[in-house]
Amino acid sequence: MGYISHQFSKYRLPVGVFLCLLLIASCSRAPSPNTLNANILPHQSALPTLRIAGPFSYADNAISLKGTIGLQIELAQLYAEEHNFRISFISAKGEEDLIKKLQQGKADIGILEFPSYAELTKSPDILSSHTQVIYKRGSLRPLSFEDLAEKRVTAHDSPRFRKQAQFIQAHYPQVTFEFSPKTQLQLLKEINQGKLAFGLIDSATFIHLRSRFHRTKVAFDAFYPESINWILAPHLNEKTINQTDDFFSSIKANGTFSHIKDKYFGHTQKAKPLSSVTFFSRVEQRLPQYQDLIEQIAEKHQIDWRLLAAISYQESHWNPRAKSPTGVRGMMMLTLPTAKELGVKNRLDPAESLDGGAKYLNYILGRLDDVAEPDKTWLALAAYNVGFGHLQDARKITEFHGDDPNRWSDIQRYLPLLEKKDWYSYTTHGKARGREPVNYVRHIRHFKELLEWQFPFTEEELALLAKRKDAEQLIKAEKLDDQIPKNQQQQSDNS
């Protein structure tokens, strides 16, 4: 953890918000009404409605969705904002139901968590994905469909998986396929539990869920890569289709797409299953001793307790007596100078350590007011690890390369340059272990998401998030208003 400035006392600690709740909740939540609540969007009922159909029945708020669906929802929100639509989310029971809604004019855009073979117009590519055979770790790994002769392979019941199974069986007739109405998440859960031996699972879905179901593993790739796209309704005119094409071209060219994609997949692609095994073991054995304390301190500093728990796990594996050769100690691994600045008298006391770490995190967040969430949190975590000065050096290098110093997806590419003399010799704060904060942030994001699976967000937390998001939009509007010259404001008001 980086050393805190002696100017700490001059800063007023900001009242934090529920940090990083933009990536929240869990697919294990109970089913909800057929139409997804869209109140995370501005309330502009006078705007025309863009109807988005998708597998929303297992969640009650758009921001509770993660992975491929969460990514597509955020892209749809951005598209709606740019083209002055309000969004209505419509639940589809499966791919066939979704296609039917599009063909009957009940929806405008369809989104799925896997590629679709529907013969309808589609958006430009969003993700590349391919079908994989998944099995349980510890069992005999099949290397090809020849090894699955006389075996049963289960797949989600969709036209795509049925067509793929038909093609496979034409070449390997001894393989038996079973189609289930269960989601891919539910199938992975049963493979993880040993209830199913093998499953056909989409790779984009598996990348997102493999850490949660750490006993599952890829046996082999079953099909070539295919594209995940928005599926466009037949009634959409050519102008709208062209707008969609232009939208994707624009966000891919200006880096927005990569930035949004990083929010949903940046911390999952390099996650190691064994780290999840250790994590869940600690969740079961150690977290119960400290969860109430973590929740109390998180509430005091108005941050998400899952984030504080993820940080303290990354720092010490929830070991209050942890120490390192460099002198950092305790649950939050505070240095002695930092502990003194924060008023922590005993670094080995869990309550003092957690309180000091939360206070320090809020202090850093207060120095990043120009950065939007969730990047604000990721940058703060990087500074917590490597020091605020080194983070600022990396932001300057990022800007020098023409990238966005407020985007974590950009900054993480340049932090490792702080290890190279050709770069750190020109920085204000000198050499730093630039790769460490990149891994540090990725691990905490990973552990935080696992905690969100384990401890889904409550209705009260989701409601608070909606209020926080409305407040953020109001603050943005006020800042924009402050940037308009007074005479221009008056002209606008008079018009």
- pLDDT above 70 coverage of the chain, percent: 80
Tens-place pLDDT, residues 77-99: 999 999 999 888 899 988 999 99
pLDDT at 10 over 50: no
Confidence tier at 464 by pLDDT (50, 70, 90): confident
Residue 482, amino acid: D
Instruction: Report d(CA 27, CA 485) in Å as an integer.
Output: 47
Tens-place pLDDT, residues 240-287: 999 999 999 999 998 889 888 887 877 665 656 656 778 888 888 999
Q: Which among 114, 144, 110 has a CA at the least distance from the CA of 129?
A: 114
Residue 71, amino acid: L
Q: Name the token pair of 206.
A: 């598996």
Residue 345, amino acid: K
pLDDT at 53: 93
Residue 301, amino acid: H
Which residues have CB under 8 Å from 388's CB, separation 6+?
Answer: 2, 5, 364, 367
pLDDT at 300: 95
Query: Three-class SS of residue 87?
Result: strand
- pLDDT above 90 coverage of the chain, percent: 56
pLDDT at 261: 86
Residue 419, amino acid: E
Confidence tier at 63 by pLDDT (50, 70, 90): very low
Q: DSSP letter for 403, please.
A: S
Residue 87 has phi, psi (to 5 degrees) of -105, 140
Instruction: Report d(CA 139, CA 126) in Å as an integer.
Output: 34
Catalytic residue among 113, 315, 341, 352: 315
What residue segments make up the domains of the chain, in order of their start? 6-20+270-457, 35-127+228-265, 131-224, 463-488
Pick the CATH number of 35-127+228-265 from 3.30.1960.10, 3.30.70.120, 3.30.70.20, 3.40.190.10: 3.40.190.10
Q: DSSP letter for 345, please.
A: S
For domain 6-20+270-457, the question of CATH label 1.10.530.10 is answered with yes
Query: Three-class SS of residue 255?
Result: coil
Query: What CA–CA distances, in Å, run from 203 to 199, 315, 378, 492?
Result: 12, 31, 26, 51
Q: Is 315 a catalytic residue?
A: yes
The arithmetic mean of pLDDT across residues 366-382, rounded, is 94
Which residue has better confidence, 195 or 61?
Answer: 195
Rounded mean pLDDT of the chain?
Answer: 82
**Same topology for domains 35-127+228-265 and 131-224, yes or no?**
yes
Tens-place pLDDT, residues 158-171: 989 999 999 999 99
The arithmetic mean of pLDDT across residues 439-463, rounded, is 86
Is residue 214 within 8 Å of 276, Cβ to Cβ? yes
Residue 313, amino acid: Y
pTM: 0.66
Number of residues assigned to the chain: 495
For domain 131-224, the question of CATH label 3.40.190.10 is answered with yes
Query: Three-class SS of residue 52?
Result: strand
Query: What CA–CA distances, in Å, run from 329 to 6, 184, 314, 352?
Result: 20, 42, 13, 12
Instruction: Report d(CA 185, CA 220) in Å as an integer.
Output: 19
Tens-place pLDDT, residues 325-353: 888 999 999 999 999 999 999 999 999 99
Instruction: Report d(CA 333, CA 287) in Å as an integer.
Output: 17
